[in-house]
């Protein structure tokens, strides 16, 4: 946990040194944006260094990925379309394999694969936070704790796909629908589970109002209660997954705080549902954030009984960063400040607790 503690302390030092993310006491929107980017850039670059320099023992799947490059280097381009690449190295996602193949021309050292995947993921998440968040310290700490950073230490292909999906969502908010579609399709070539993110395109078309949120909450609660039984019925026809039922992967549950986090998320969703003015069109983004946060909760609850199902939640974890910021806008200034301080402190403590679990015990590659 020591290295994660030092990362947290370093981020707080940078926050203080840049005067809460504002390095210069000058006015102007452009200058302010530049100043806030300094803190974000340093914080995310530090997170990248930690992720890229991790050894094979950090994350249960990391050691497997380190062995891929030498094997990928032996594959021939001429067999790409004839099936020679199918089911090779535990994956059939061709985008990731092409990425590895190109990298193999420069090196077969698997550590470079970790570094490049970390760079792509962190860059996408940096742009996501920079675009949507103004409470920068809260956003950075939320990213480290619940914004998919820790799972990305393990599921490398999926974390790159998450980064692409976050870029797609940014395009959606800017009404660049074709770009968003292309980013999601690219994500699917790295991890097929990215297909779940197509649902966010549909959310743009749903009218934002309290009734729709209450209906969504009812559907979410129903699936959370009965979803495991539905999955059990489905996997009877897919024997390869049958053994996973009843074996939820909950290393993170040893942090003794994840269920409290779920409760906090649910309370913020309820708060925003009843306090947001849904007549304002600009609040549709809040509507989408709430629905994605509900999806995160439902998937995680169902994942208790099905090993691997909870990994789908990683695509909705970045929305928790936005949820925590939106939750403070309902209060008056002084109360809002206390709220953000509380969220930041809680996220820091949970981050340190989660990082102390066995799969995240940090050792550098050297």
**pLDDT per position as a tens digit, 187-198:** 999 998 899 999
- CA–CA distance, 90 with 84 (Å, rounded to integer): 14
Residue 305 lies in a domain: yes
- CA–CA distance, 144 with 139 (Å, rounded to integer): 9
Residue 13 lies in a domain: yes
The domain total for the chain is 1
Q: What is the pLDDT of residue 13?
A: 92
| Average pLDDT for 110-125 | 94
Which stretch, 19-33, 115-129, 291-305, has highest mean pLDDT? 115-129
**pLDDT per position as a tens digit, 60-98:** 778 887 877 887 777 788 777 666 666 555 556 788 888
- CA–CA distance, 167 with 173 (Å, rounded to integer): 10
Strand partners, 54: 364
Mean residue pLDDT across the chain: 83
Residue 365 lies in a domain: no
**pLDDT per position as a tens digit, 96-110:** 888 888 998 898 888
Structural contact between residues 62 and 111, judged by C-beta atoms closer than 8 angstroms: no
3 state DSSP class of 54: strand
Domain that holds residue 256: 2-360
Query: pLDDT band for position 115 (50/70/90)?
Result: very high
Assess whether pLDDT exceeds 90 at residue 176: yes
Per-residue burial over 51-80, b = 16 or more CB atoms within 10 Å of its CB, e = otherwise:
bbbbbbebbeebeebbebbeebeebeeeee
Phi-psi region of 214 (alpha: psi -120 to 50; beta: other; left: phi over 0): alpha
Residue 172 lies in a domain: yes
**270-273, long-range: CB within 8 Å, 24+ apart, which pairs?**
271/327, 271/330, 272/323, 272/326, 272/327, 272/330, 273/210, 273/213, 273/214, 273/217
- CA–CA distance, 157 with 98 (Å, rounded to integer): 13
Residue 366 lies in a domain: no
Percent pLDDT > 70 in the chain is 81
């Amino acid at each position: 946990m020591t290295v994660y503690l030092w990362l947290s302390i370093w981020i707080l030092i940078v926050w203080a040194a840049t005067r809460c993310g504002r390095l210069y006491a000058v006015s102007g929107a452009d200058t302010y944006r530049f100043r806030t980017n300094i803190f974000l850039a340093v914080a995310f670059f530090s997170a990248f260094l930690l992720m890229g320099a991790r050894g094979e023992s950090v994350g249960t799947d990391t050691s497997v990925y380190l062995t891929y490059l030498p094997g990928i280097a032996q594959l021939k381009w001429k067999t790409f379309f004839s099936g020679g690449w199918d089911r090779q190295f535990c994956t059939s996602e061709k985008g990731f394999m092409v990425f590895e193949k190109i990298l193999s021309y420069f090196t077969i050292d698997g550590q470079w694969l970790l570094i490049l995947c970390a760079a792509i993921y962190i860059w996408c998440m940096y742009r996501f936070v920079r675009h949507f968040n103004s409470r920068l310290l809260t956003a950075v700490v939320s990213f480290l704790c619940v914004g998919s950073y820790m799972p990305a230490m393990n599921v490398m292909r999926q974390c790159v796909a998450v980064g692409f999906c976050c870029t797609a969502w940014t395009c959606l908010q800017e009404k660049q629908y074709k770009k968003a579609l292309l980013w999601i399709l690219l994500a699917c070539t790295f991890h097929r589970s990215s297909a779940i993110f197509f649902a966010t395109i549909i959310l743009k078309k749903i009218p934002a109002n309290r009734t729709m949120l209450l209906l969504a909450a009812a559907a979410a609660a129903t699936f959370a209660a009965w979803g495991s039984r539905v999955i059990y019925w489905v996997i009877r026809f897919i024997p390869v997954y049958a053994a996973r039922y009843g074996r939820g992967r909950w290393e993170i549950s040893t942090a003794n705080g994840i269920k409290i986090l779920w409760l906090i998320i649910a309370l913020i969703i309820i708060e925003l549902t009843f306090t947001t003015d849904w007549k304002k069109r600009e609040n549709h983004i809040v509507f989408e954030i709430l629905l994605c946060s509900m999806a995160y909760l439902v998937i995680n609850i169902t994942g208790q009984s099905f090993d691997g199902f909870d990994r789908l939640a990683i695509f909705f974890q970045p929305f928790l960063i936005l949820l925590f910021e939106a939750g403070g806008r309902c209060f008056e200034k002084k109360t809002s400040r206390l709220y953000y301080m509380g969220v930041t402190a809680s996220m820091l403590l949970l981050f340190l607790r989660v990082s102390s679990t066995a799969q995240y015990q940090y050792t550098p590659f050297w």
